[in-house]
Amino acid sequence: MEFQDVFTDLRKKAGFSQNEVADKLHVTRQAVSRWERGETVPEVETLQALSRLFGVSINTLLGSPRTLVCQSCGMLLSDDFLAREADGNFNEKYCKWCWADGHFTQDCTLEEMVEHCVPLMPLGQTEPEACRAYMRSLLPTLERWK
Ligand SMILES: [Zn+2]
């Protein structure tokens, strides 16, 4: 899916007309109509406003070109798991368990994060050593631990 399809879908599901979306975002109806015809893609600030309006991440609005992984614990991120900033915008780097209101939810070392994650992993109970080894190799590649 590309932006035009994602946007048109979200707009219709929310029950907004093109005019209503234009009013909410302070853009012209022609601009909205160009997005839906695939002629243009909105600027970053407008994408942010759309993200707030529809409650989906910018990555989702753009048709999910990137696979988002929490840069603190390594979990795969869908919009349901994304952290939010204090102003309500999504933070597309971290999950909501690692980041909230503009800071990390826990101040921990890499090794503490490994111990925190292992019991939550699918094989955490039966293969804790394998999970530990996996997390010890994964975490140093993430932004928080680099
Ligand atoms: Zn996380």
pTM: 0.84
The pLDDT value given to residue 31: 97
The pLDDT value given to residue 37: 97
- Residue 123, pLDDT > 90, answer yes
* Cα–Cα distance for residue pair 99/82, rounded to 1 Å: 9
Same domain, 97 and 131: yes
Tokens of 124: 């955490």
83 Cα to the center of ligand 1, angstroms: 9
Asked if residue 18 belongs to a domain, the reply is: yes
- Residue 1, pLDDT > 90, answer no
Same domain, 49 and 94: no
Same domain, 130 and 96: yes
72 Cα to the center of ligand 1, angstroms: 5
Q: How many domains does the chain have?
A: 2
Model confidence at 88, pLDDT cuts 50, 70, 90, reads: confident
* Cα–Cα distance for residue pair 108/86, rounded to 1 Å: 21
132 Cα to the center of ligand 1, angstroms: 16
Whole-number average pLDDT of the chain: 95
